[in-house]
Amino acid sequence: MTMGKRLGAEFLGTFWLTFGGCGAAVLAAAFPSTPFLGIGFAGVALAFGLTVLTMAFAVGHISGGHFNPAVTAGVWAAGRFKTADIIPYWIVQIAGAIAAAAVLYVIASGREGFSLAGGFASNGFGDLSPGKYSLLACFLTEVLATFFFLTIIIGSTSARAPAGFAPIAIGLGLTLIHLITIPVTNTSVNPARSIGPALFAGGAHIAQLWLFIIAPIIGAVLAGWVSKALQSED
């Protein structure tokens, strides 16, 4: 595939992940007029998993289905991705997430009483953590969750893994990660997904972005190295 097609697929995939997952959190997690209709943490977790599952099947064969700068870093560390292609992938992934957050903002602000005070599905630690978890707890959570997410991705897409099932494993893996970590950080494991909403939430959410860029990248690179060693023929 040409680089243009690959980048287009990454933009669409990251847009859908951010719009679908963060949109579920902003629009559907709670429903003000009828609270029992909200989908809650479990619904948001499933929404994030479904975005990756559906787009991995739809365009994963074009770009590799990263939709996440940490995934790009992880597969590079595993020796499956060219160094020269990292920055272009990162640029379109972040652009897709920002575009999705912008569309979500336009939709969400169409409801009377809408406010960004709730964080607009942004990630955070300390006072901005849903459960008020510490910086250390949130950093460790993001590193560990991303490590296992990349372990799932690299392992399920291995030539020795059953063919055709990788998107299911990856989507379910992301769902599980959200079920565990939403109360801690609102779940990032994806710097692009974190950047998009934070730019609209502003203030302290932007100030805390560093953790949700650095921690997922660290976890992903570690997973790439470990997976490469585990899956070698030696």
| Local structure of residue 26 (DSSP, 8 states) | I
- Residue 195 token pair: 């950047």
Tokens of 233: 């023929």
Amino acid at 168: I
- pLDDT at residue number 33: 67
pLDDT of residue 1: 86
Both tokens of residue 20? Answer: 């679908």
- Mean local confidence (pLDDT), 18-34: 90
What's the rounded mean pLDDT across residues 201-218? 97
25-33's contacts with Cβ under 8 Å and 24+ in sequence apart are 25/121, 25/186, 26/104, 26/108, 26/118, 26/120, 26/121, 27/104, 27/107, 27/108, 32/113
pLDDT of residue 234: 59
pLDDT at 233: 67
Average predicted confidence (pLDDT) for the chain: 95
Alpha-carbon span 156 to 164, nearest angstrom: 9
CA distance 128 to 117: 11
Q: What is the pTM of this model?
A: 0.96
Greatest Cα pair distance in the chain:
62
Q: What's the one-letter identity of residue 54?
A: T
Lowest average pLDDT, out of 60-74, 107-121, 129-143, goes to 107-121
Domains and CATH numbers, the chain: 3-111+124-230 (1.20.1080.10)
Q: What are phi and psi of 47, to 5 degrees?
A: -60, -45
Reported in sequence order, the residue ranges of 64-211 that DSSP labels E, i.e. its strands, are none
pLDDT of residue 30: 85
The reported pLDDT for the residue numbered 37 is 83
Does the pLDDT at position 25 exceed 90?
Answer: yes
CA distance 230 to 234: 9
Average pLDDT for 84-96:
98
CA–CA gap between residue 190 and residue 71 (Å, rounded): 8
- Identify the pLDDT of residue 205: 97
Report the percentage of the chain scoring pLDDT > 70.
98
- Residue 208's pLDDT band, with cuts at 50, 70 and 90, is very high
